Amino acid sequence: MAIHELSALLWRERELLDVLTFKLEEEQLLLTSGNSRWLPLGTKEVEQVLGHLSQASLARTIEAAVVAESWGLPTDATLSELVTAAPEGAWAEVLSAHLTALTRQTSLIKELRDTNEQFLRSAVRSTQESIADLQPSSAAGTYDAQGKTGATAGSRIFDQRF
């Protein structure tokens, strides 16, 4: 029966969202500790989970279309519409529980993503400022042979006897 398969796919998707949440929290710990050594590996793992999640979402969409059609709904019906149209009994509760959990997990993931993005922006800004401090600044009122100020311009005293 298609509804059983849909429920199993929803469980799989929820498990993958849990793994994604874990990976984002792991990435956040790396960012807050200032230890960027493992950040590329953490990012790669997040991307891998997102790939698996994309495949699971596609499978769920296909199965949901089968269920929707069997319940007299358009094949592009949302999970919320399936909850509303579910026959009396346990399936309405099961689908509603999946919808609630998926909504909660998605919200948490968005928060983690936004927080991690802020940490990354802050790290980039800090790095740019550090690099800018390392570059020599041009001295005010000092010009080079072409009349321009710049890093190569500066006051120099040459002993022209040599």
Q: What CATH number did the domain enclosing 83 receive? A: 1.20.58
**Model confidence pLDDT, tens digit, residues 33-60:** 888 889 899 999 999 999 999 999 999 9
The range of the structural domain enclosing residue 11 comes to 2-125
What is the average per-residue pLDDT within 1-17?
95
Task: State the total domains in the chain.
Answer: 1
Average pLDDT over residues 111-134: 85
Indicate whether 151 belongs to any domain.
Answer: no
User: Buried b / exposed e across 61-94, counting CB within 10 Å, b at 16+?
Assistant: eebbbebbeebebeeebebeebbebbeeeebeeb
Residue 95 lies in a domain: yes
Does 135 have pLDDT greater than 70? Answer: no
Angle value at C-alpha 44, between 101 and 27, nearest 5 degrees: 60
Instruction: Calculate mean pLDDT across residues 119-128.
Output: 82
What does the pLDDT look like over 81-104, one tens digit per residue?
999 999 888 999 999 999 999 999
Q: Is 109 inside a domain boundary?
A: yes
- Domain assignment present for 68: yes
Within a domain: 119: yes
Q: Is residue 87, in this structure, part of any structural domain at all?
A: yes
Of the pLDDT bands very low, low, confident and very high (cuts 50, 70, 90), residue 131 is confident
- What gap in Å lies between CA 14 and CA 138, rounded to an integer? 57
Instruction: Note whether residue 102 is domain-resident.
Output: yes
157 is a domain residue:
no
- Compute CA distances 44 → 32, 40, 66, 117, whole Å: 18, 6, 34, 16
